Amino acid sequence: MTDQKPDQTGPRMDKAQVDTTIKIEEGGEVRGTVRIAPAVLIQLIETTVLDIPGVVALTSHKRRKSEDAGEMPGGKSFDDGKVRVTVDGDQIDADVSITVQSGTNVSRLTDQIREKVGVAAGRMLGMTVRSVDIYVADIVAAGD
């Protein structure tokens, strides 16, 4: 086994990154990079999902065998047990595990989750959501 130094040519992708350019009045522009902590991404997704009627709770999920190997292709992954986010530059993929209220149209609910997570990430963080995979862990009666 040889010692290898990490690639120093590019930015470290342990945070989401959005590159921005702002036009200013004098005809110039100001460029910059915004780095977003993984906990912020996860918190945004959790808050967005929990605000959708029909979602009772976020649920802990077991990792799939393919996830046990570590990093997912195309980015770095972060997981709080309920939401998993894979970050690739300014694009994210999310896995969410939920408990649903009985009587909820699950197909419509999952469409709403995908739409609202995509809109929230775009508006608040300037990021693009490539996918939101949803795992329905449980269905409970109203008031449980």
Q: In sequence order, which residues have a C-beta less than 8 Å from that of residue 66 and are 6 or more positions away? A: none
With contact defined as beta carbons under 8 Å apart, do 113 and 55 qualify? yes
Q: For residue 71, name the pLDDT band (cuts at 50, 70, 90).
A: very low
For 31-66, write each residue's pLDDT tens digit: 887 778 888 899 999 999 999 999 999 999 776 544
Residue type at position 111: D
Residue 5 has a pLDDT of: 39
Residue 70 or 143, more confident: 143
Q: Which residue has the higher pLDDT, 13 or 143?
A: 143
Say yes or no to pLDDT of 6 above 50: no
Q: Which amino acid is at 68?
A: D
Strands 128-140 and 16-23: unpaired
Each residue's pLDDT tens digit, 82-131:
999 999 888 999 999 999 999 999 999 999 999 999 999 989 888 899 99
Q: What is the pLDDT of residues 7-40, one digit of tens each?
A: 333 434 455 666 666 677 777 888 887 778 888 8
Query: Token digits for 99?
Result: 């408990």
- CB contact at 8 A, 59 and 97: yes
Q: Looking at per-residue confidence, does 67 or 10 come out higher? A: 67
CA–CA distance from 123 to each of 11, 89, 100, 116, 119 (Å)?
24, 17, 26, 10, 6
Q: Given pLDDT bands bounded at 50, 70 and 90, which one contains residue 142?
A: confident
Regarding pTM above 0.85, the answer is: no
Give CATH for domain 36-64+74-140. 3.30.70.1350
